Amino acid sequence: MRTTQRRRPELATFLRSRRARVTPADVGMPPGLRRRTPGLRREEVAQLSGVGVTWYTWLEQGRPINASAQVLDAVARTLRLDPPEREHLYRLAQVPFAPDPEGLTRSTGPEVQGIIDALAPLPAVVYNSRYDILATNPGYRDLFLIPEIVDIGVANALWTLFTVSERACPLMHRERELPVMVATLRSSYGRHVGEPAWERFIAGLAAASPYFAELWESGEVVQPGPRVKTFRHKAVGELRMTSQSLSIDGMPECRIVVYTPEDEETRQKTARLREHTENPAS
């Protein structure tokens, strides 16, 4: 109750400030006369959003009324909220946040790429919550050098690990590691249930991999966290690496995953990975 009481005044302040920055000209309306305050009037926001004036007034006053996702989306469009502001509106109104239709970030900027490149020779990758591969550095590409993925055509770590042959897979102990990855995926799926892009992904991978389908039906859920994983590479042998996830400001549901050597032997082998890739005949 106390949390709700604190959110309502914050919601009122937020809506008033967003309304004040949108001018009638921004939405194709005449400026009108005797406009005492900047921005749109409450009744104009209500009209443009397709809601009642009284209902919008109560919402902006922070009264305890119910709001649907559809109505909040209409208000967000009228007030020209960007994605972070839209999410903020949902949180303050205590409505489950609905991301964009595709549901996920699908690219990174040069700044993030520069960060993971600077981590070399440590392998590093940027994943979104569906394990789509958004960016990699040379160390990651050396570690996950899988000729078979050329024919897969899907830049997704789960799709790769579940559809390549066990012989070609660089990740050892798949019977232990893959269930954890699927359980991590399911924890993210809870925020995207029913979204077409997610449902297509789950259905497609289940059709491509009976083992994934079996693990998905188990219903296990875990959060991302550090793990020690064992990899194999034809040039340097086995490598024991600790995976650590780092969140990225401004990229919701994305994380940088860095693999650090678990022991001195692996540290030396990690350095040799790059040498072998650059000089394959050595």
First CA to last CA distance, the chain: 67
Query: Tell me: the pLDDT tens digits for 118-167?
Result: 998 999 999 999 999 989 999 998 888 765 554 545 689 999 899 888 88
Rounded Cα gap, residues 207 and 200, in angstroms: 10
Q: Which domains does the chain have, with CATH numbers?
A: 2-93 (1.10.260.40), 110-278 (3.30.450.180)
Segment 212-226 shows an average pLDDT of 89
How distant, in Å, are the alpha carbons of 13, 42, 172, 245 from that of 8?
9, 17, 51, 34
Q: Tell me the pLDDT band of 23, cut-offs 50, 70 and 90.
A: confident
Cβ neighbours for 141, distance < 8 A, ≥ 6 positions apart: 277
Query: Tell me: the pLDDT tens digits for 179-198?
Result: 999 999 999 888 787 778 88
Q: Tell me the pLDDT band of 100, cut-offs 50, 70 and 90.
A: low
